Chain A
């Protein structure tokens, strides 16, 4: 007989599943369907003319470039922070560890106004304009991306078997060779994942960016919001940009998943 739901002695499947589906549909699926309908109402020409317009192209270029760079900075420093937190004992280790999540916990508007003031004053002190420039954007995107790298790397560093390092040393490798040839390759998947997550987060960041970069720089999320305040024509521009960004972040997520599956198949049991 065809079974519509799994047979289990545990109760509550139908009601929990039903409520989940209803809530999910109302809150997530219907709004997404609305977006898809909206995009569907657009012709290819219309879409391309929006996406390829100079202002939007510049926004894509700057947003992607700054996000990549910020994710790169985070990959480097995040690696050091994660390594230090897992491997070494030093005063205030717990405090530093808790602080890693600050960009998660701090509302983006607070981060935004704090970063704005900080770099405004710093800029005045050293005579360089930071805020409302690409530098300010980069600093804000670095701020929000750090936890992603650190939090994906920490468990991976924890999981490295000490024996691998010992065997490498017994075979005559020095510490740097052990790190570069043994430790680093086993951390690469986690590092790439953390990098990609920081990158994806930076692409969509709005809160802190709108404070520190102002509205003059072409930035994707800010362009979307600007266009939402106009009429129907502008709404379509926002929809087209948003769809492009959505596709980009799905591609990133898909790549992370694919890489993890592939790495698992290649190097691990199961």
Chain B
């Protein structure tokens, strides 16, 4: 089932949580809503679910091109998973999962044998069939979230919505569970949307990522695209650390330290240049045909999978470069050395914070 929201606006008092947001999720897709807190991602998810209602004048919420904006959450066929699991603590794992089946009207309610069969099947799917008779508080966080997932799947939803599903878990469990969720999605192909503030999580799990900020979708694209071709300065900044430079514009050309970078449209007043640390090359000699910046090595952090080198330009601006351990030993870097720094990939943004690349 595809999901489409059009021109959704939502405010809480004076706070504008969503500002004219539109989004289209294809059938069977796994989409992440990524953004800092207060960016409106959870509000958008709750509007899709029917837990919140968009402001007057907003566009429709379409499931398979059918407007559901006026139907109740229970009628939308959505499964919803909360950050803090929201398990019913006075019910066993089995009863939690069976809940959605038991509350059906008598005509459509499966009989007890059928409920039992379906619940146990789901518990097997989430690898908890041995825990059926335990109570939620007897389970670990990861297990609880899997129960919540099984419970949401029990009503055979057309759409699965997850609000920070891994947010309350320990780092290690979080990584395991998100990989498991990806595999599960590949198995059942349910259209799914999940909210997260963790970029690794979004980039690793989702088919496409909607990066949100201040009630707007900044970019909606594949993980590769949002990482390598960020559409806005915000996306660039949010997905990993960056080094900033200010470019000079003359005759419609951006230059950095006199070196030509790219053409820009006329009337462009400002060009902000961003370089990711792993795209800054360090060498002892000038690189020909390229921009070279002199900098002093301030610190070398080599405890980790990659080496981070902190540098400082003559004008006192800090910079960070990242490299492999092999590169470090080839370079034979030491603190206090003076080196040449060359960016090998520059992202340029205009004064409206949008990318100037096509």
Q: Please give the distance in Å from A266's CB to the nearest CB on chain B.
A: 7
A233 on interface, CB distance cutoff 8 Å: no
Which residues, 231 to 270 on A, are CB-close (under 8 Å) to B?
266-269
Contact indicator B80/A172 (Cβ below 8 Å):
no
Does any Cβ of A come within 8 Å of B227's Cβ?
Answer: no
A182 within 8 A of B: yes
Whether A170 sits at the interface, judged by CB under 8 Å, is: yes
Segment of A2-10, A105-113, A159-167, A195-203 engaged in the interface with chain B: A159-167
A227 sits at the interface (CB 8 A)? no
A166 with B99: CB separation less than 8 A: no
Query: Is there a chain A Cβ closer than 8 Å to B314's Cβ?
Result: no
B336 at the interface (CB under 8 A from A): no
Scan A167-205; emit 1 where CB is below 8 A from any B CB, else 0. Answer: 111111110010001100110000000000000000000
Question: Closest approach, in angstroms, between the C-beta of B83 and any C-beta of chain A?
Answer: 9
Contact digits for B147-181, partner A, Cβ 8 Å, 1 yes 0 no: 01001101100000000000000000000000000
Query: CA separation between A169 and B79, bound complex, in Å?
Result: 10
Quick check: A170 and B79 within 8 Å, CB to CB?
A: yes
Contact residue among A164, A174, A266 (Cβ-Cβ distance under 8 Å from B88)? A164
Which residues on A sit within 8 Å (CB–CB) of B135? 266-267
Q: Tell me whether A167 and B89 are in contact in the complex, defined as CB-CB below 8 angstroms, given that A172-B104, A173-B74, A174-B103 are known contacts.
A: no
B89 touches A170 (CB 8 A): no
Residue of B nearest to A167 (CB): B86
Interface size on A, residues (CB 8 A): 21
CA of A202 to CA of B99 in the docked complex: distance in angstroms? 39
Nearest A residue to B79 via CB reads A170
Quick check: A172 and B89 within 8 Å, CB to CB?
no
Contact (Cβ within 8 A) B89 A186: yes
Query: Contact residue range for chain B?
Result: 20 to 34
CB atoms of B74 and A171 under 8 A apart: yes
- CB neighbours of A163 from chain B (8 A): 82, 84, 86
Task: Please tell me if the beta carbons of B86 and A169 are within 8 angstroms of each other in the complex.
Answer: no
**Shortest CB–CB separation between residue B160 and chain A, in angstroms?**
11
Of B74, B84, B102, the contact of A170 (CB 8 Å cutoff): B74
Q: Are B152 and A170 in contact (CB under 8 A)?
A: yes
Shortest Cβ distance from B337 into chain A, in angstroms? 53
Residues of A within 8 A of B189 (CB): none
- In Å, the complex CA distance between A90 and B230 comes to 50
User: Out of A166, A172, A269, which one reaches B100, CB within 8 Å?
Assistant: A172
Alpha-carbon gap, A163 to B168, bound state (A) = 15
Q: Is the CB of B80 within 8 A of A170?
A: yes
- Residues of B66-82 contacting chain A, CB below 8 A: 72-75, 78-80, 82
A172 touches B103 (CB 8 A): yes
Q: A166-B80, A268-B137 in contact; A173/B103 too (CB < 8 A)?
A: yes
Q: Which residues of A contact B99 (CB under 8 A)?
A: 168, 171, 173, 181
CA gap between A218 and B173 in the complex, in Å: 66
Does residue B226 face the partner (Cβ distance < 8 Å to A)? no
Given known A-B contacts A266-B135, A268-B137, A169 and B89 have beta carbons under 8 A apart: no
A169 with B74, Cβ < 8 A, contacts A181-B103, A266-B135, A267-B137 known: yes
Contact of A268 among B49, B79, B89, B154 (CB under 8 A): B89
- B residues 121-138 near A (Cβ < 8 Å) are 135, 137
Instruction: Determine the distance from Cα of A185 to Cα of B86 in the docked complex, in whole angstroms.
Output: 15
Q: Is B51 an interface residue (CB 8 A)?
A: yes
CA distance A269 to B148 in the complex (A): 17
Q: A177 and B103: CB pair below 8 A?
A: yes
Q: Which A residues are CB-close (under 8 A) to B72?
A: 169
Q: Provide the A117-134 mask, 1 if CB < 8 A to any CB of B, else 0.
A: 000000000000000000
A190 to chain B, nearest CB (A): 13
Distance in angstroms between the alpha carbons of A186 and B136 in the assembled complex: 14
Write out the residue numbers on chain B whose beta carbons fall within 8 Å of the beta carbon of A168.
88, 99, 103
Interface centre among A161, A167, A185, A267 (most CB of B within 10 A): A167
The answer to whether the Cβ of B117 comes within 8 Å of any Cβ in the partner chain is: no
User: Which residue of chain B is the closest to A270 with respect to CB atoms?
Assistant: B137
- Chain B residues near A186 (CB, 8 Å)? 89-90
Q: State A260–B271 Cα separation when bound (angstroms).
A: 66
Q: Which residues of chain A are near B79, meaning CB under 8 Å?
A: 170
4 residue pairs, one from A and one from B, having the closest CB atoms: A171-B100, A163-B86, A173-B103, A170-B80
Could you jot down 5 A-B contacts, CB within 8 Å? A166-B86, A167-B82, A170-B152, A172-B75, A186-B89
Given contacts A166-B73, A181-B103, 9 further A-B contacts (CB under 8 A): A163-B84, A166-B82, A168-B99, A169-B73, A170-B49, A170-B50, A173-B74, A182-B88, A268-B89
